[in-house]
């Protein structure tokens, strides 16, 4: 979850490291630090708080260095202190290291190293690696100076259990940088007389668009002019250089107050980009170019298991409804973090689909690897082409939503919902969904950007509602069928960015326990369309009002709701069932956003959260 940036080259580190680190702050913002090599002296500066606290503390001399590593932390092992901040320096002061991941056997490593006289000053697991490198470096043949640094890192990692993305500097090797990964993302930026490394491509694009995505258990040895990749087991690897083709200005905030606000209002264009070129010429079905699974193979699929976490899991629930309805294929939705550790019986014709915005979610990646190990076909829906999940799967569907910086997902979520609906259409047309129904669904998808733009126009009304409800500390979100996952997502958004305790339930389940929470101090947000569930949802609303609960209702324009049944009403455009969850997501996002603003919360960087969850 932490952010790593490193640089070695002919230029000053200056903005190269600090600008990159700012672009990674969504990955962690408890503390940050930077280490450089000044001739043959290691120097480091660490600060609690955001990257700007570090930036203000950096002497100009440090920013003039030509090699350095930096880190922004999301705390796992140890409190938020400068001692626990990265980079960590070995007790002999010869090495500095930054680390993302979790070292599972760090206690045994630490105990051994302490017996050898190595000192520890932090509570972190990361410090065990840098001291282990120092230990192996001391044992290496001093005559083999060219490879001594690299081999010390390699030998150390052979003893490490867990996940890591690391970058290491050595006092004795000022013109070198060594990095490695297992389970945590790490990318090389290739420049002219310079190289960079980072845990997200977005931290590199201000310097270069040429990148190499490292695979698990690979180690890279860099200098200003060249780099080489090998496995930790010491087999050589040929680097594959790719070009990042998205516009870096998309990651800038522009005239908006927050990235989350920007990304909410970018949804019409994000959805347009996600469906571009993905409908058949006769507009009766969806097309996906990167599935790498033939139609014959897909036609044999008799069960689909979706894996995800958090917001992506809610998108999977929508996929379950839509694929079962339109393709008539049984679907199961699993928490990726639980699936890996279950011995779930799977049919031989099962398809595994992973959903992850970043493509680096460690729980989802681990579950996916377990499914592949058992021989199942795998697909992914994600927003990062070169991500670990995208490369691990047999095939995938790229979201084309553009970079999402705000920790709370908005446009990536609605993009996932859209692609799940398009996948349901694609699979349905392969089976028994009629041509005419396919054409109606494609027409609905094409109308989606316009409907989202119309829905965004209710922002001023939602601002007023947010002012009225910002001081409550509890809230329920309730919906039926397709609206239930959106209720879950609404509750999650409110929790994430406003710190209000919120829960999502199927509206009918309210009577089976949650109704005990209903009171004047616990408002309920109901989501409903005019379909077959409307009358039943209206009955649930009346049950809340009968117990003096306040009701915010988000409803499609054709819903007739008695005024005395609700306290606040938000109307959205009428939409086809397959896209209605996307339309209903917009007011849910806006309500959470404006409530968080009223509560003066840090919307883009909520406490305790990071956007890309790369540790278990």
Point out the residues that are catalytic: 2, 611
**d(C-alpha 398, C-alpha 176), whole Å:** 35
Q: Which of 412, 441, 425 is nearest to 612 (CA)?
A: 412
Q: Which two tokens stand for residue 580?
A: 């209605």
Residues forming beta bridges with residue 32, ordered by sequence position: 47, 72
How far is Cα 145 from Cα 380, in angstroms, rounded to an integer?
Answer: 44
In our burial notation (b when 16+ CB lie closer than 10 A, e otherwise), range 356-376 reads: bbbbbbbbbbbbbbbbeeeeb
Q: What is the sign of the dihedral through the CA atoms of 153, 155, 156 and 157?
A: positive
Alpha helical stretches, state H, 348-410: 362-373, 388-392
- Computed from CA positions of residues 62, 63, 67, 68, in that sequence, does the dihedral angle turn out positive or negative? positive
State how far the Cα of 403 lies from the Cα of 24, in Å rounded to an integer: 12
Report helix, strand and coil shares of the chain as percent, to nearest 5: 40, 25, 40
Q: Which residue has the tokens 């938000």?
A: 570
Provide the CA 490 distance to its chain's centre, in angstroms: 18
Tell me if residue 248 falls in helix, strand or coil.
helix
CA 102, CA 124: separation in Å to the nearest integer?
9
Tokens linked to 542: 């009346």
Nearest C-alpha neighbor of 534 from the set 511, 517, 515, 553: 553
């Amino acid at each position: 979850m932490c952010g790593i940036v490193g640089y070695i080259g002919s230029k000053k580190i200056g903005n190269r490291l600090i600008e990159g680190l700012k672009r990674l702050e969504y990955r962690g913002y408890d503390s940050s630090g930077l280490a450089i090599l000044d001739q043959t002296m290691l120097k480091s500066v660490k600060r609690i708080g955001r990257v700007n606290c570090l930036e203000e503390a950096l002497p100009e001399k440090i920013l003039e260095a030509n090699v350095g590593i930096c880190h922004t932390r999301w705390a796992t092992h140890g409190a938020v202190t400068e001692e626990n901040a990265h980079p960590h320096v070995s007790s002999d002061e010869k090495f500095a290291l930054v680390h993302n991941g979790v070292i599972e056997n760090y206690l045994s490593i630490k105990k051994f190293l302490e017996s050898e006289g190595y000192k520890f000053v932090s509570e972190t697991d990361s410090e065990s690696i840098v001291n282990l490198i120092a230990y192996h470096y001391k044992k290496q043949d001093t005559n083999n100076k060219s490879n001594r640094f690299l081999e010390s890192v390699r030998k150390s990692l052979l003893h490490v259990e867990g996940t890591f993305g690391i970058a290491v500097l050595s006092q004795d090797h000022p013109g070198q940088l060594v990095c490695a990964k297992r389970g945590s993302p790490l990318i090389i930026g290739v420049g002219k007389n310079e190289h960079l490394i980072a845990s997200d491509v977005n931290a590199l694009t201000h310097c270069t668009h040429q990148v190499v995505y490292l695979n698990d258990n690979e180690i890279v040895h860099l200098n200003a002019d060249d780099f080489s990749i090998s496995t930790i087991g010491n087999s050589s690897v040929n680097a594959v250089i790719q070009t990042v083709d998205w516009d870096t200005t998309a990651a800038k905030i522009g005239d908006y107050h927050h990235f989350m606000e920007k990304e909410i209002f970018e949804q019409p264009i994000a959805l347009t980009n996600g469906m571009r070129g993905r409908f058949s010429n006769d507009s009766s079905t969806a097309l996906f170019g990167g599935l790498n699974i033939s139609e014959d193979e897909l036609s044999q699929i008799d069960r689909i298991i979706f894996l995800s976490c958090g917001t992506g899991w809610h998108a999977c629930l929508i996929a379950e409804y839509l694929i079962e309805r339109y393709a008539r294929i049984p679907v199961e939705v699993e928490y990726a973090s639980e699936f890996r550790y279950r011995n779930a019986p799977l049919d031989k014709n099962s398809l595994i689909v992973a959903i992850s915005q970043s493509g680096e979610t460690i729980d989802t990646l681990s579950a996916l690897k377990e499914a592949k190990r058992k021989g199942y076909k795998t697909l992914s829906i994600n927003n990062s082409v070169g991500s670990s999940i995208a490369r691990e799967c047999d095939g995938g569907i790229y979201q084309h939503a553009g970079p999402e910086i705000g920790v709370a997902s908005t446009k990536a979520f609605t993009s996932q919902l859209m692609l799940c609906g398009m996948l349901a259409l694609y699979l349905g047309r392969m089976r028994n969904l009629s041509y005419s129904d396919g054409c109606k669904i494609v027409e609905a998808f094409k109308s989606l950007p316009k409907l989202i733009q119309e829905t965004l126009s209710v922002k001023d009304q939602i601002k007023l509602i947010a002012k009225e409800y910002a001081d409550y500390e509890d809230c329920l979100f309730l919906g039926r069928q397709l609206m239930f996952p959106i209720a879950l997502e609404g509750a999650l958004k409110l929790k994430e960015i406003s710190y209000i305790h919120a829960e999502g339930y199927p509206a009918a389940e309210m009577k089976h326990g949650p109704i005990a929470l209903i009171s004047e101090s616990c408002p309920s947000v109901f989501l409903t369309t005019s379909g077959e569930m409307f009358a039943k949802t209206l009955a649930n609303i009346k049950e809340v009002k009968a117990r003096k609960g306040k009701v915010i209702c988000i409803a499609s324009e054709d819903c007739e709701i008695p005024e005395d049944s609700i306290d606040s009403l938000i109307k959205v455009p009428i939409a086809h069932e397959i896209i209605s969850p996307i339309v209903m997501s917009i007011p849910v996002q806006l309500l959470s956003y404006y409530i968080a603003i009223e509560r003066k919360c840090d919307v883009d960087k909520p406490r305790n959260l990071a956007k890309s969850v790369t540790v278990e």
